Structure 1
Amino acid sequence: MIRSQTMAIRNKEFIISAEVMGESKVRIILVEILPNLISIVFGGFLGTVIYAMGAEAPLGFLGLGDATEVSWGSMLYWAQVSSSLYTGAWWEMLVPAIALSLTGGALALINMSIDQVSNPKLKTGPHLKLWKKLNKEANKRRGLV
């Protein structure tokens, strides 16, 4: 996906004009192409991190992970093996589960916010103001204001 987007950007007019003006290839990549790929690169990176967390935790919970490493999945596995819910030590199961879900949710929200900041089609500023204005006018017509 990154390669196809790079190839699409490479054929844009501002890249061709930079080449015609004699800009170096390194400058074209760093100044012209890379800023247009920020959302795709970071989105792919954060998506991969979320996927890796989502793949490691169930494998660790099933006991298929590395037993010498401490991870949230292995913490859940050892809490289940020691019957922590039956013995009243519920925090051994709850803390890693909450940490895993909060981290995954936070990374997903960061991914969406990077997308909104870097993608001009997703910017909500003017659209939100227009919606508030139209909502205010509709409430006036209904007699709610």
Structure 2
Amino acid sequence: FTSWAWGVRVTRSETLSIRQRDFVKSAEMLGEPGWRIMAFEIFPNLISIVGINFIGSVIFAVISEATLEFLGLGDPNTVSWGIMLYNAQNSSALSVGAWWDILTPCVALATLGLGLALINFAIDEIANPRLRTGGMLVRWSGLIRRGEGKL
């Protein structure tokens, strides 16, 4: 998580953008205190941006760590998905028919990345007021109920 400055810049620019919107100006005109405007107008619009930045950083960190370990730049005495892939590749697991040695860490990395991306999407869908027209599950269940079957 060494790239925190990028996330701070994005959050600051989004905060400045939200402060210029009409609903914040209306709250200021009505005499709302600054803490209330921040808590009820600005912060709910920032949750999706902060969540996306955080989960994106976690995905990047896990994949970077596995890549560096696979390339041999990490500690070989630690347990890592990258070390598991490196050991499977060096032991010629595929040539002796031990495909699960390579498949297991690959599936684990892919599942973690996909799971975090779905959490990221859910946070964005829940917290982003522009997307509150019906959640992903509501839209998909409507398609399935109508018999279209396509997502």
| Post-superposition offset of 1:54 | 2.4
- 2:18 aligns with 9
Question: Cα gap change, 1:19/1:56 in structure 2, threshold over 3 Å: closer, same or farther?
Answer: farther
Q: Judge which range, 46-55 or 12-21, deviates more.
A: 12-21
Offset at 1:60?
A: 1.5
The residue type equivalent to 1:8 in the other structure is: S
The residue number in structure 1 matching 2:91 is 82
| C-alpha RMSD of matched pairs (Å) | 3.0
SS at match of 1:21: coil
Provide the C-alpha distance between the structure 2 equivalents of 1:113 and 1:50, rounded to a whole number of angstroms. 16
Higher RCO by CA contacts (8 Å cutoff, separation 6 or greater)? 2
Amino acid aligned to 2:56: G
The structure 2 residue matched to 1:92, chosen from 101, 104, 107, is 101
Matched, 1:109 2:118: yes
How far did 1:115 drift? 1.6
What aligned pairs does 1:3-82 form with structure 2 within 5 A after superposition? 3-16=12-25, 17-18=27-28, 21=31, 23=33, 25=35, 27-82=36-91
Tell me how many residue pairs correspond in the alignment. 132
TM-score w.r.t. structure 1 length? 0.72
CA contact (8 A) 2:68 2:82 kept: yes
- Write the distance in 1 (CA, Å) between the matches of 2:100 and 2:111: 16
Q: Which has the larger radius of gyration?
A: 1
Q: Which runs of 5+ in 2 are unaligned?
A: 1-9
Letter in 1 for 2:94: L
In 1, distance between residues paired with 2:118 and 2:51?
13
TM-score, scaled to structure 2: 0.69
Q: 1:120 to 1:35 in 2, by over 3 A?
A: closer
Deviations 1:77-134 (A, max 9, x none): 11112222223332221111100011101111221222222223334539959x96xx
Which has a greater percent of helix? 1
CA distance in 2, matches of 1:13, 1:124: 20
Give the letter aligned to residue 35 of structure 1.
P
The verdict on how the C-alpha distance between 1:33 and 1:123 changes in structure 2, with shifts beyond 3 A counting, is closer
SS in 2 for 1:100: helix
